[in-house]
């Protein structure tokens, strides 16, 4: 997701492919209106729940490879400032997105609350949850992780002497994540001992650290003669974790029909599934694979797709209605069949993705042209 991930060398098509898949999953989460009422809907929601988890882990591949000053500068320039600009434009043109005013009217007679906007920015995005920019919480979370960089960077040395300490930290956070899951879902009440989580929001840091560990493992993994075994084990772990997650969430719904925490990206199941999925994908060699390389080229634009897709989706939503399907699917009786549920996603996700990609390509190319002219 992060624009700072793109280093100036040959891009890894496997990593870019994961970026694209994660982006499609995030879009799927935002365009999905089906709910979680039955097993089919729950399975689809679980398959569309971990896009942010994948982005954090992939960001960890690159997070600790630069110094703090350069990391902070790149994060502010390529992530935070563009995110705040999109946030401001979303606030400014919200009436146009909702079809309440024309584009020109939003410019000539803006309704934006500048004090409210600044308050939302300096409250680390806390006030944007109910707005059309609600997805931009990620920007502020990522900035907090960058500011914590000096605390973690010393653990990554050339001789790798602190590996066991990194693993202690990740294991502690993961155990705490499991406890938090049990508390959030109410399943903790079924245990004889009641334990509260020590910390509530350390998951992104753990995911970045897990990505950094995977990055250091990749050279050995790529040279291994047992890639097939790694691939099979990763697939088994992914499938088993998904099945257990599905069964537990079904039980949670039985006990409390409104609690769906196991569908969230920051639960322990999401961590295990995402790492297994990344290992599975990166165990393949995509060099020379034209279809994958063509799709992976969009990985360069996934950050801007992330920034823009929410507004683009809502522009369609407010103009074509909540059940828009481009006239392809008959929704007279709602999503009453599995085929309609699948069509619902196959229509909306690619539509929003390709529209967002087109705008993102224009923005990135324009930025590159502007920088080249300055040189």
Name which of 102-111, 180-189, 279-288, 298-307 the model is least confident about: 180-189
* Confidence band for 4, pLDDT divided at 50, 70 and 90: very low
The mean pLDDT value of the chain amounts to 86
Instruction: State mean pLDDT over 110-139.
Output: 77
- pLDDT at residue 257, rounded to an integer: 67
Give 21's contacts (C-beta < 8 A, 6+ positions apart).
54, 281
Tabulate helix, strand, coil % of the chain (nearest 5): 75, 0, 25
Tokens of 253: 């719904």
Q: Degrees (nearest 5) of the Cα angle 47, 49, 54?
A: 100
- Return the closest-CA partner of residue 324 out of 348, 308, 340: 348
Give the confidence band of 7 by pLDDT, cuts at 50, 70, 90: very low
Q: How far apart are CA 318 and CA 296, in angstroms?
A: 31
In this predicted structure, the answer to whether residue 1 has a pLDDT above a threshold of 70 is no
**Is 211 a residue whose pLDDT tops 80?**
yes
Per-residue confidence (pLDDT) for residue 136, from 0 to 100: 86
Distance CA 337, CA 354 (A): 26
Band (pLDDT 50/70/90 cuts) for residue 6 is: very low
For residue 320, give every residue at least 6 positions away whose Cβ sits within 8 Å of its Cβ, in sequence order, or none. none
Q: Give, in degrees to the nearest 5, the angle at Cα 230 between 228 and 235.
A: 95
Most confident of 230-234, 293-297, 316-320: 230-234
Give 253-260's long-range contacts (Cβ < 8 A, gap of 24+): 253/36, 253/42, 255/186, 255/187, 256/185, 256/186, 259/184, 259/185, 259/186, 260/36, 260/45
Which one-letter DSSP state was computed for residue 246? Answer: H
d(CA 146, CA 152): 10
Q: Are 306 and 26 in contact (CB under 8 A)?
A: yes
CB 289 within 8 A of CB 113: no
What is the CA 53 to chain-centroid distance, rounded? 6
According to the model, what pLDDT value does residue 255 have? 82
Q: What is the mean pLDDT of residues 184-213?
A: 81
pLDDT at 332 over 70: no
């Amino acid at each position: 997701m992060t624009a700072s991930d793109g280093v100036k060398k040959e891009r890894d098509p496997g990593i870019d492919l994961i970026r694209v898949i994660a982006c499609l999953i995030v879009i799927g989460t935002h365009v999905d209106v089906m709910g979680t009422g039955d097993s089919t809907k729950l399975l689809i929601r679980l398959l569309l729940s971990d896009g942010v988890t994948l982005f954090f882990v992939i960001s960890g591949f690159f997070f600790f490879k630069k110094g703090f000053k350069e990391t902070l500068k790149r994060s502010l320039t390529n992530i935070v400032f563009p995110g705040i600009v999109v946030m401001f434009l979303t606030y400014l043109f919200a009436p146009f997105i909702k079809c309440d005013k024309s584009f020109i009217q939003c410019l000539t007679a803006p309704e934006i609350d500048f004090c409210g906007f600044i308050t939302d920015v300096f409250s680390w995005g806390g006030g944007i949850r109910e707005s059309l920019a609600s997805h931009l919480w990620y920007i502020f979370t990522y900035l907090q992780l960058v500011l914590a960089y000096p605390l973690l960077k010393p653990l990554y040395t050339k001789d790798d002497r602190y590996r066991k300490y990194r693993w202690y930290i990740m294991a502690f956070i993961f155990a705490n994540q499991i406890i938090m899951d049990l508390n959030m879902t109410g399943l903790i009440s079924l245990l004889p001992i009641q334990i509260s989580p020590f910390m509530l929001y350390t998951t992104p840091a753990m995911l970045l650290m897990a990505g950094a560990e995977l990055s250091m493992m990749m050279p050995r993994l790529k040279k291994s003669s047992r890639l097939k075994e790694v691939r099979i084990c990763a697939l088994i772990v992914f499938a088993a974790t998904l099945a257990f997650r599905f069964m537990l969430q079904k039980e949670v719904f039985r006990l409390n029909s409104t609690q769906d925490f196991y569908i969230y990206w920051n639960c322990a199941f999401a961590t295990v599934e995402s790492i297994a999925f990344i290992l599975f994908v990166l165990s393949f060699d995509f060099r020379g694979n034209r279809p994958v390389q063509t799709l992976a080229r969009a990985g360069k634009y996934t950050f801007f797709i992330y920034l823009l897709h929410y507004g683009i989706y809502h522009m369609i939503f407010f103009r074509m209605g909540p059940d828009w399907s481009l006239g392809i699917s008959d929704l007279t009786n709602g999503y009453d069949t599995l085929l309609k549920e699948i069509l619902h996603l196959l229509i909306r996700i690619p539509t929003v993705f390709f529209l967002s990609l087109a705008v993102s390509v224009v923005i990135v190319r324009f930025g590159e042209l502007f920088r080249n002219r300055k040189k």
